[in-house]
Amino acid sequence: MNPVGEREIRESFVNCSKGEARRLNLPRNLSELSWADLDFLGWRDPGAPDRGYLVVERQGELVGVTLRVAQDVRRSFTKSTVCSLCLTPHSGSGVALFVAPRVGAAGRQGNTVGTYICADLACSLYVRGTKRAESGVRFEETLTTEERITRTALNLEGFLDKVFDGDLRSA
């Protein structure tokens, strides 16, 4: 993705209040990120461990989504779980169930979309092999890196469509 600055990021959020977007903690190293290797910017809030954020270009516009880690999940810690965006298998807490408030009235009424995503939101790095999951699971795929990048983008698009779905219905 193209490099973006703090102001663009804060203005991109679609599913939280302006005040929340102004206050949320951004990644500390924005200017040092390897943007060309990112399909989306994802990070966990350093000041609020149950919060995460995802910023991506969608239909030519920058879209930011706030996420919250669902607390009531009971999963086996011996079982590996796959990220629904990049399909990287993780063990234990390597994958988290994130919920995103839907855009617009639906979200304000508490309507959310949940999905399993790499807990550190670093899908772009796992897809490119620059970061490895600690699952110990050997997951050999015949897809090229390029194909995995495309698949991740499609999965993310599907997730965002669901987040925006409430907005369409309320419009």
- Binding residues for Zn ion, rule CB under 5 A, total 6
Query: Which residues from 19-78 bind Zn ion, rule CB under 5 A?
Result: none
Which one of residues 54, 56, 113, 118 is an interface residue with Zn ion (CB under 5 A)? 118
C-alpha–C-alpha distance, residues 142 and 3, integer Å? 31
Q: Among all residues, whose Cβ is closest to Zn ion?
A: 83
- Per-residue binding letters, 79-108, with Zn ion (x by CB under 5 A): ----x-xx-x--------------------
Which one of residues 69, 82, 123, 153 is an interface residue with Zn ion (CB under 5 A)? 123
Please answer whether residues 141 and 152 qualify as being in contact, where contact means their C-beta atoms are separated by less than 8 angstroms: no
81 by Cβ neighbours in 10 Å (0-12 / 13-18 / 19+) ranks as buried
Rg, the chain, Cα only: 16
On the CB side of 100, CA atoms within 13 Å amount to: 27
CB nearer Zn ion, residue 9 or residue 85: 85
Report the interface residues with Zn ion, using CB under 5 A: 83, 85-86, 88, 118, 123
